[in-house]
Amino acid sequence: MSAPVVLSEAEVKEVSASPAPTSWKITTASLSKDLWLEWRSKDAINSMIFFALLVVVIFSFSFDPTAEESRQIVGGLIWVSFLFAAIVALNQTWAREIRNQVLDAYRVSPAPPNALFLSKALGNFLFVTVLEAVMAPLFMIFYNLKVLGPAYLLLLIAALGTWALVVNGTFFAAISLRTRSREVMLPLILFPISIPALLAMVEATKIVLTGESAAKFWIVLLAVYDLVFTVVCLTLFETVLNAE
């Protein structure tokens, strides 16, 4: 450790006022910080993948569906397992901010609250996307799946569905921050509100897998759900952040 404060007056640098940072700059700074911390600890990713892997294996032992039956049920299985696994990451979203009351340092800064929310939601989106990228091929193998509809739509459904889960999950994780049993609270609040999105994801995925009809209605529903909840969460986040 170096010697205690010994700088002379001249060395106490006079600094000019910095230009106000833009929301996007703060979002990227906060996002890179979260990704860096996750890269070091791998807390969220490891537990999510391990959890989802268990679900795939247990389900595959529990059912022995034919290829046709698989296409009917895998939409539900895959999204429910992603939802459960995402809870692990969502519960950890704010854990680091609560330790040492770091969130207070953000609250006293001029940084806009929405930038913090957006960075957390984007971070969770990336974590869950990594999970999906790892787990989706395993689902295909374990359930012997062959996509009969337009496969590219699965990417769109995955992106919209993942955002639906993480935008609400990040918001409700922030709400449950100050509750005593927050890890139980999050699924209790999140699951009911995710039902319309979950229904749309499952139905759209099933339609694409079976190639039976067009998934347009469900995809549009999902997009509208995302839009509405993103706006609501961004609007209300400042209140949640400053709640006592």
Partner 1 sequence: MIGAESQVNSPSSALAGSAPPAVVLTGLTKQFGRFAALRNVTAEFVAGKLYAVLGENGAGKSTMLRAIAGLLQPTHGKVTVLGANSVREVCDQLGYMAHPSLLYDEMSGLENLRYFGRLYGIEDDQRCKDAIVMVGLDPALTRPVGQYSQGMRQRMSLARALQHDPTLLLLDEPFSNVDVASARGMVQLLGRMRDGGKTIFVVTHQARLLADLADEFVWMHAGNINSRVPTLDLEAVQ
Binding site residues, partner 1, CB under 8 A: 1-7, 9, 11-15, 17-21, 25-26, 29-30, 33, 36-37, 40-41, 96, 99-102, 104-111, 242, 244
Closer of 14 and 64 to partner 1 (Cβ): 14
What's the Cα-to-Cα distance from 71 to each of 52, 85, 159, 210, rounded to whole Å?
Answer: 19, 22, 20, 6
Rounded Cα distance between 100 and 211, Å, is 52
The DSSP string of the chain is -PPSS---GGGS---PPPPPPPHHHHHHHHHHHHHHHHHHH-HHHHHHHHHHHHHHHHHHHH----HHHHHHHHHHHHHHHHHHHHHHHHHHTTHHHHGGGHHHHHHTSSS-HHHHHHHHHHHHHHHHHHHHHHHHHHHHHHTT----S-THHHHHHHHHHHHHHHHHHHHHHHHGGGSTTHHHHHHHHHHHHHHHHHHHHHHHHHHHHHT-S--HHHHHHHHHHHHHHHHHHHHHHHHHHT--
For the CB of residue 1, give the shortest distance to partner 1 in the complex, in Å: 6
Closer of 160 and 174 to partner 1 (Cβ): 174
Closer of 57 and 105 to partner 1 (Cβ): 105
Closer of 96 and 223 to partner 1 (Cβ): 96
For the CB of residue 177, give the shortest distance to partner 1 in the complex, in Å: 15
Closer of 40 and 180 to partner 1 (Cβ): 40
**Cα 179 to chain center, whole Å?**
20
For the CB of residue 6, give the shortest distance to partner 1 in the complex, in Å: 7
Closer of 1 and 195 to partner 1 (Cβ): 1
For the CB of residue 175, give the shortest distance to partner 1 in the complex, in Å: 18
For the CB of residue 183, give the shortest distance to partner 1 in the complex, in Å: 20
For the CB of residue 98, give the shortest distance to partner 1 in the complex, in Å: 10
Closer of 106 and 191 to partner 1 (Cβ): 106
| First CA to last CA distance, the chain | 38
For the CB of residue 32, give the shortest distance to partner 1 in the complex, in Å: 9
